Amino acid sequence: MNKEGDQLLKYNENRVPEARSMGCWAPIKSLYFGFRGNTSVCCFNKIHVVGKYPELTIREIWDSAKRKEIAQRLVQNDFSLGCKGCEELILAENYKALPAKNFDTLPILRTDYPSKMDFELSNECNLECLMCRGEFSSAIRKNREKLPPIKSAYDTNFVNQLEEFIPYLENSHFLGGEPFLIPIYLDIWERMVAINPNIRISIQTNGTILTERIKRIIHSMNFDIAVSIDSIEEDTYRVIRKNGEWKKVLPNVHYFREYCRENNTHFHISFCPMIQNWEELPKVVAFANELDCNIFFNTVFHPKSCSIGSLSSTEISGIIDTLSNAELSSNTQIEEENKRSYLQVISHFGLWKKEALEREELESKTGPAADLTTYLEGLKHYLQENSDSTLEEQAAIHADIEAKLNYIIDVAAENNLQETATGHIIEMNYKTVVESLPQMDREHALYLFKSFVTPLPD
């Protein structure tokens, strides 16, 4: 058995037995509605779009061939349709941060209805976080990117169409932007209360908004609440989470924690380990232990200025050594789980160290990419050394990627952003490019580039 097979066996050992027949159950159990109407099977896979609202109804999206296609792939443990992020976490044995596990224990109530729907319908947000972008923050889009607002694809008809599906939902996750600032979410919650008040609602919030109205809403339903913090140091928090103040957020963290304790719902804090805050990891684990709650570590791939994966192998090795020397308590189940999450983050950094070594070895042969031409030459070497495809197939993949990158640059040039777009392209990891771009048409590639790499007008 190859290494990937061994890692898959280890992954399955960490799952409930009934879930092991499929790499991930999201296509069978879930739909995710994202910005501009793009819909996929989960919020971590924005590459394989299964439909778009309002071009298709919710029912038509659920019945689509594209949803069934990704389900068929994952039955065979094939993560190639936009699920490479989860596959990387499996290879790194970072199971606590693995989105795929969220779907293991969800029931299949009826095969013609999902038991989970996730919503990311608006980017309305009051913060301008360092690692974020305008796609997920209206404040960043307005103030940092100087772009017009993203027009919402969702309307009252969308909320009406949900009524068919609400009776079968077990769980629903709301993202932003900042969910407590998004009006359509209030409408959806009211429909859920009227039709199926037993749905477990989960929220990812920045913790800055806590009005009396919000208190009334959460006390009328069962809310699981996660608060993103990214620092517990006042100065660092202010740098990372621009417009936020840790001293103002901290009381809200305690309020949400007590709400969940009193209502027997789940509470956790989320933290993005980055270049700017990795030294805080032991402290933030201790903070979570004090709250008697789990900590969830997100993975930051972009921007390069924040991602630990963009550092040299020597720098990553130093971070691993420092964090490995920290002493963490493990006297309770929560503390043990948080320690395990912490160690899995370090394990993931080890994978990034390996990738950095491979990148440095490649650059020693080709030189660092200085422009698109040298980047594409490096891509050719990467394919030769990391692909089992024939030379003819490699040439076809290379040509496809080159055509799509040139198209993106042409669109950027129309907005006088050719140099900026090219600069960001040559910073992109070859592995990520090879695993994502060939799967999509050029328009979707442009959409993802605008969303996650360089902001461009719609």
381-411 pLDDT tens trace:
999 988 888 999 999 999 999 999 999 999 9
Sheet holding 116-119, edge to edge: 51-52, 38-40, 30-33, 116-119, 171-174, 200-205, 222-228, 267-271, 294-297
* CA-to-CA dists, residue 239 to 132, 207, 309, 354, angstroms: 12, 16, 21, 30
Q: Summarize the confidence of residues 100-121 as an average pLDDT.
A: 85
Q: Summarize the confidence of residues 219-244 as an average pLDDT.
A: 96
Residue 33 has pLDDT above 70, yes or no: yes
Residue 415: pLDDT band with limits 50, 70, 90: confident
Q: Summarize the confidence of residues 83-110 as an average pLDDT.
A: 83
Give the tokens for residue 115: 């038991």
Q: Summarize the confidence of residues 312-328 as an average pLDDT.
A: 97
CA distance 283 to 327: 10
Backbone angles phi, psi at 117, to 5 degrees: -135, 130
CA distance 440 to 423: 22
Q: Summarize the confidence of residues 32-57 as an average pLDDT.
A: 92
E strand map for 120-277: 128-129, 171-174, 200-205, 222-228, 241-242, 267-271
| pLDDT for res 1 | 46
Residue 281 has pLDDT above 70, yes or no: yes
CA distance 19 to 159: 31
| pLDDT for res 115 | 93
| pLDDT for res 110 | 62
Amino acid code (one letter) for 334: I
Q: Is 395 helix (H, G, I), strand (E, B) or coil?
A: helix
| pLDDT for res 455 | 82
Q: Summarize the confidence of residues 104-123 as an average pLDDT.
A: 86
| pLDDT for res 363 | 85
